[in-house]
Every structure is written in structure tokens, then in C-alpha cells.
């Protein structure tokens, strides 16, 4: 049950009206429910607590990386899946022990690997033979041992959007077959590398269980093949990717319990621990992007609702053709009791102020009777929204607000415009 609800035709988050939040925090801003974040963490963990094998949950920091959100997630017992030095530093700043960090990513730099080894990151997911060799050299120079998993590209289609699939041969992720066998040889002979197991990640927003099953079976076969050669690991990292219903027609065809049970059925008999890296499933539903309508205009037989939020805050529609539900904050009713937001319909495109044709939030929507100054929310904006925001058009980063009951905290202040050119130098 979401903590966002209508009361007297007014949208609330937990015990606070979004009208009140908008009056005190500038729009646009992201509004998060602390209760929903804690509940999502609990529900996901519960699914794996009931299976036989030991499971380590490593939250994908790239999904939503605000320090306050990370604190809540880490307090719930999660570690971190990171893909950059910056994300490692965020996780450490939020209070996480470096041992609970998995360092993934296809383009780790020398300085990033060195930093990760120095602070004691628990596990490296290796994605190329060159990366393995560089990691070994740095570990030797530092006099440490790097714990590594080899990331396999299983060539499995996750049946998701082409831009968020990561496990097919056309994707840049994971070791190619030819490199994999060479990497195994290097592991056997290098004393500064500790083989810990295998990893994979086949994509994001996965709504069917079959690709996950296929990937798990492939991983189990690869692990058993290496075990026969004397390489015994302690982990299989299945990545993340569990999808969420962004629109009413979306349906995930498996429950979290079925997901956990299936991984336990396939990976459990190997006698290793499981790592999973949830991101979207934890944070997507816990936030809405609150935005104000600036103008409404009709142009070439289309009606545009122009908002103060755009692709700089929510790039997913323009990047992935992603759908987000959009709602009014305050429903308007006439004397007869008719709901203007339902009955006085006008099909509109909701767009932002950025100078790009891909700057849209929703197309062909029915918002009803709305005008300049009205507030809207873009649903399910807690994952890959604030963390993918940009300063394009010299637009400052917007505020993030965390609601806890009837109180709220600004967990990120809106960025000062002048700070955007602070590090620049005029001639």
C-alpha cells in the first residue's frame, strides 16, 4: 500500500499534503516516502529470508544515490553494488563497511581500482581480461589480494527495452567466451587474485521469470565446469533487474517469492552464497517528481502542458520511451460534483522547458481541467531519475525531500545556479 494517497481531493505523502510541501520547497522537486522505502527493503529481504541459501543483498546505488536514502537502505541490512569511485565514496559516507561493497562496471579506471583496493572493497566483478590483469598488477603493488568474480555474458535476452538489456552478445558487458577461458588461466596462476565466483546481469525492468531462470542455469553450468577444474568459489552474483509496473497495463509475471525460490532451486544446490543487486524494485515507487505547470498552449492541433520539470530531472521518457503515470496534486470539482480531472477531458502532451524535442514527460494524457500554476506529480520517480539528472541548459539540480510521517527533511538542497560555473575559468 503506497503512502501517496488522495484525501479530500488533495494528494498526500504519508501525513503531509504535497501542496504544503510545494509551498515550502521550490518546484520541481523529488518527494520520497521514508515508510515506503523501508517497506520495500523489508518485503524484498523477506522473500530471500525464507529460502535455504545465504543471500547477500547489494543495493544498486546507481538507481538512487542520495545519502539519506542510502542510510535507510543500509540500515535495513543491504550492502552496495557500485560502478564508480564516486559511488564507493557515497556508500562509505553513508556509513557502509567497505566489505559489503561489490564493485561492478565495465570501465573501471586504474585510479578507481587502486582506491577500491585501498579502502577494502569486498568484491570486484571483473568484466574484461585487461581489467583482470590491471587489477592483479595494482593488487601486487599494494601488497593486497583482490577478491574477484568473473562476469559472464550469457547471451540471454531479458525481453526488456533494447537500451536496458545487458546480457546479450551485442552488449558491452561481461567477458566474451574467448576472454573467459584466458581469465580463468590468469586466476589460477596469480597469487594477488582470489577467485570468489561468477556474476552476471542480463538487464533491467525484467517482467518475466524465464530469462532469469535461463541465466541462473547458465551460471550454474559455468560454475560446475570451473569447479571440476579445481576453481571453487563462494558466490554467484545474479545481478538485479526485477521490474516494476509503471503503467496500469504493466504486469510482472512473477512474485518476489517465486523469484527467490527459483534462484534457490538452481543456485542453492551448488553450496555457494547468492548475491542479488536490487535497485529499481527498491526505490522506484517511493518517490514522485513534483512539478508546476508554467504555461498551456495549443499548437498545430496539439495541446501542450509546459512544466518546470523536464528531461533534466526525468530523462527516462526521452531516453527509453518510458511511461510514467502523471497525476494532478489537487483535483478540481464543480458544483455538480463532477470531477474536472476525469470528465472535462482534453488530451495533452506534458513537456518540459528544455530546448529539445525529446523533452517530454508524458504524451497523449488526460489531465482534465488544468492550467498555469497547477501542480502535477510524475509517479514512480524514485529510480534512475534524480540519479540520472543533468545540468543541461544550465539548469541547476533540484531539491529532494524525504517525508517521515507528518514531517519532512530537505535531503538535498536545490543547487545554486552560480555553482554551475564555479570551476570554470575565463580567459
The answer as to whether 199 is a domain residue is yes
Tell me how far apart the alpha carbons of residues 4 and 401 are, in angstroms, rounded to a whole number: 14
73 and 153 share one domain: yes
CATH of residue 126: 3.20.20.10
- Residues contributing to the annotated binding site for substrate: 280, 316, 320, 356, 384
The pLDDT of residue 163 is above 70 = no
pLDDT tens by residue, 100-110: 999 999 999 99
Query: What percent of the chain is predicted at pLDDT more than 70?
Result: 92
Asked if residue 167 has pLDDT above 70, the reply is no
What is the residue-averaged pLDDT of the chain? 92
Average pLDDT over residues 316-338: 83
Bridge-based pairing of strands 146-151 and 193-199 is: parallel
Assess whether 21 and 74 both reside in one domain: no
Distance, CA of 53 to CA of 274 (rounded, Å): 7
Length of the chain: 427
Same structural domain, 188 and 313 = no
Return d(Cα 144, Cα 159) in angstroms, integer.
41
Residue 232 has pLDDT above 60, yes or no: yes
Counting Cα atoms < 13 Å in the Cβ hemisphere of 363 gives: 10
309 & 160 share domain = no
DSSP 170: T
Counting the structural domains of the chain, the total is 2
Q: Looking at the structure, do residues 318 and 236 belong to the same domain, yes or no?
A: no
Q: Which of 312, 255, 289 minimizes the C-alpha distance to 383?
A: 289
Q: Which residues pair with 404 in a beta bridge?
A: 407
pTM over 0.85: yes
CA nearest to 209, candidates 256, 167, 172, 168? 256
Q: Looking at the predicted structure, is the pLDDT value of residue 69 above 50? A: yes
Instruction: Answer yes or no: do 257 and 401 share one domain.
Output: no
- Directed axis angle between helix 34-49 and helix 256-267, to 10°? 40
* Helix axis angle, 67-75 to 34-49, nearest 10°: 40
pLDDT digits over 5-23, tens only?
A: 999 999 999 999 999 999 9
Domain limit, last residue, from 257, 283, 309 = 283
Q: Same domain for 25 and 111? A: no
Q: Is residue 37 part of a domain?
A: no
Residue 40 lies in a domain: no
DSSP, collapsed to helix, strand or coil, labels residue 252 as coil
Residue numbering of the annotated binding site for pyridoxal 5'-phosphate? 241, 277-280, 384
pLDDT confidence of residue 181:
82
**What was the pLDDT predicted at 288?**
99
- Given this model, what pLDDT does residue 161 score? 46
Domain final residue, candidates 243, 261, 283: 283
Q: Is residue 361 part of a domain?
A: yes
More confident residue, 198 or 168: 198
Evaluate whether residue 111 is within a structural domain.
yes
Query: pLDDT grade, residue 332 (50/70/90)?
Result: confident
Q: Catalytic amino acids?
A: 355
The pLDDT value given to residue 333: 60
CA 159 vs CA 166, 203, 241, 346, 350: distances in Å: 11, 9, 11, 34, 28
Three-state DSSP state, 14: coil
Over 60: is that where the pLDDT of 157 sits? no
Give yes or no for residue 401 having a pLDDT over 90: yes
Same domain assignment for residues 251 and 295: no
The CATH number given to whatever domain includes residue 403 is 2.40.37.10
Looking at the structure, do residues 324 and 307 belong to the same domain, yes or no?
yes
Identify whether residues 387 and 373 lie together within a single domain: yes
Closest CA to 287 of 391, 390, 389, 206: 389
Ranges 50-64, 66-80, 161-175: which has the least confidence: 161-175
- The confidence score (pLDDT) of residue 182 equals 84
| Per-residue pLDDT at 159 exceeds 70 | no
Are 97 and 238 found together in one domain?
A: yes
Residue range of the domain that includes 268? 50-283
Q: Give the pLDDT mean for 274-293.
A: 98
pLDDT tops 70 at residue 174: no
| pLDDT recorded at residue 173 | 59
Q: Evaluate whether residue 194 is within a structural domain.
A: yes
Listed range (33-37, 341-345, 378-382, 421-425) with the worst mean pLDDT: 341-345
Helix (H) or strand (E) holding 116: helix 110-119
Residue 164 predicted with pLDDT over 50: no
* pLDDT tops 60 at residue 122: yes
pLDDT digits (tens, 9 = 90+) for 133-153: 999 999 999 999 999 999 988
| 113 inside domain | yes
> Does residue 191 sit within a domain?
yes
Are residues 229 and 362 located together in one domain of the fold? no
Amino acid at each position: 500500500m503506497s503512502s501517496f494517497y488522495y484525501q479530500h481531493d488533495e494528494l498526500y505523502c504519508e501525513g503531509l499534503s504535497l501542496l504544503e510541501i510545494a509551498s515550502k520547497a521550490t518546484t520541481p522537486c523529488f518527494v520520497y516516502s521514508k515508510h515506503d522505502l523501508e517497506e520495500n527493503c523489508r518485503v524484498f529481504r523477506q522473500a530471500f529470508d525464507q529460502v535455504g541459501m545465504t543471500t547477500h543483498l547489494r543495493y544498486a546505488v546507481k538507481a538512487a544515490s542520495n545519502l539519506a536514502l542510502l542510510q535507510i537502505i543500509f540500515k535495513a541490512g543491504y550492502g552496495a553494488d557500485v560502478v564508480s569511485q564516486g559511488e564507493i565514496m557515497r556508500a562509505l559516507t553513508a556509513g557502509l563497511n567497505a566489505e559489503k561493497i561489490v564493485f561492478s562496471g565495465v570501465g573501471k579506471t586504474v585510479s578507481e581500482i587502486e582506491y577500491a583496493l585501498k579502502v577494502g572493497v569486498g568484491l570486484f566483478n571483473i568484466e574484461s581480461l585487461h581489467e583482470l590483469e590491471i587489477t592483479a598488477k595494482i593488487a601486487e603493488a599494494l601488497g593486497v589480494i583482490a577478491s574477484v568474480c568473473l562476469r559472464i555474458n550469457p547471451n540471454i535476452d531479458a525481453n526488456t527495452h533494447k537500451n536496458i538489456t545487458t546480457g546479450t552478445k551485442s552488449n558491452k558487458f561481461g567477458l566474451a567466451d574467448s576472454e573467459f577461458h584466458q581469465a580463468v588461466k590468469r586466476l589460477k596462476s596469480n597469487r594477488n587474485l582470489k577467485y570468489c565466483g561468477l556474476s552476471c546481469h542480463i538487464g533491467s525492468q525484467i517482467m518475466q521469470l524465464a530469462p532469469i531462470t535461463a541465466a541462473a542455469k547458465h551460471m550454474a553450468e559455468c560454475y560446475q565446469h570451473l569447479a571440476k577444474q579445481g576453481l571453487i568459489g563462494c558466490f554467484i552474483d545474479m545481478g538485479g533487474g526485477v521490474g516494476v509496473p509503471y503503467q496500469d497495463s504493466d504486469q510482472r509475471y512473477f512474485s518476489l517469492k517465486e523469484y527467490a525460490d527459483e534462484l534457490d532451486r538452481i543456485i542453492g544446490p551448488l553450496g555457494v552464497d547468492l548475491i542479488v543487486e536490487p535497485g529499481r524494485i527498491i526505490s522506484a515507487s517511493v518517490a514522485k517528481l513534483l512539478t508546476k505547470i508554467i504555461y498551456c498552449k495549443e499548437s498545430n492541433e496539439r495541446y501542450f502542458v509546459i512544466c518546470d520539470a523536464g528531461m533534466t530531472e526525468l530523462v527516462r521518457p526521452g531516453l527509453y520511451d518510458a511511461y510514467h503515470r502523471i497525476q494532478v496534486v489537487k483535483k478540481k470539482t464543480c458544483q455538480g460534483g463532477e470531477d474536472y480531472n476525469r470528465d472535462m477531458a482534453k488530451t495533452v502532451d506534458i513537456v518540459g522547458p528544455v530546448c529539445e524535442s525529446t523533452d517530454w514527460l508524458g504524451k497523449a494524457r488526460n489531465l482534465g481541467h488544468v492550467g498555469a500554476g497547477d501542480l502535477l506529480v510524475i509517479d514512480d520517480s524514485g529510480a534512475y531519475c534524480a540519479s540520472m539528472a543533468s545540468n543541461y541548459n544550465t539548469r541547476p539540480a533540484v531539491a529532494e525531500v524525504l517525508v517521515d510521517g507528518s514531517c519532512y527533511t530537505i535531503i538535498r538542497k536545490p543547487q545554486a545556479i552560480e555553482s554551475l560555473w564555479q570551476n570554470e575559468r575565463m580567459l
